[in-house]
Amino acid sequence: MTKDKYIVLSPDNFLFRKADRLVKRALKIRKKKSQTILLLSAEKKCLSHDIQRDIPDIDLSVAMEHSIFASLTDPNRYNFRFAGQFAQGLSLFEFFDSDKKETFRLKKETRSLFEDSLFHYYSGQHIRAYGGFSNVLKIHGADTLAQYYMKLCEKLLDKPDDSDI
pTM of the model: 0.84
Judge if 7 and 55 occupy the same domain: yes
62 assigned to some structural domain: yes
Q: What is the pLDDT along the chain (165 residues), one digit of tens a residue?
A: 344 556 777 665 444 457 888 888 888 888 888 888 888 877 777 777 777 777 767 888 898 999 889 888 899 999 999 999 987 888 999 999 999 999 999 999 999 999 999 999 999 999 999 999 999 999 999 999 999 999 999 999 986 555 544
Judge if 72 and 118 occupy the same domain: no
165 assigned to some structural domain: no
Pairing label, strands 80-85, 91-95: antiparallel
Judge if 21 and 39 occupy the same domain: yes
Judge if 55 and 90 occupy the same domain: yes
Judge if 51 and 81 occupy the same domain: yes
Show Cβ contacts of residue 91 under 8 Å, excluding neighbours closer than 6 positions.
Answer: 65, 66, 82, 84, 85
46 assigned to some structural domain: yes
Judge if 67 and 30 occupy the same domain: yes
Query: What is the domain range of residue 86?
Result: 1-99
Q: What's the Rg (C-alpha) of the chain? A: 16
124: alpha, beta or left, given left = phi > 0 and alpha = psi -120 to 50?
left
* Total count of domains within the chain: 2
Residue 100 has φ and ψ, to the nearest 5°, of -60, 155
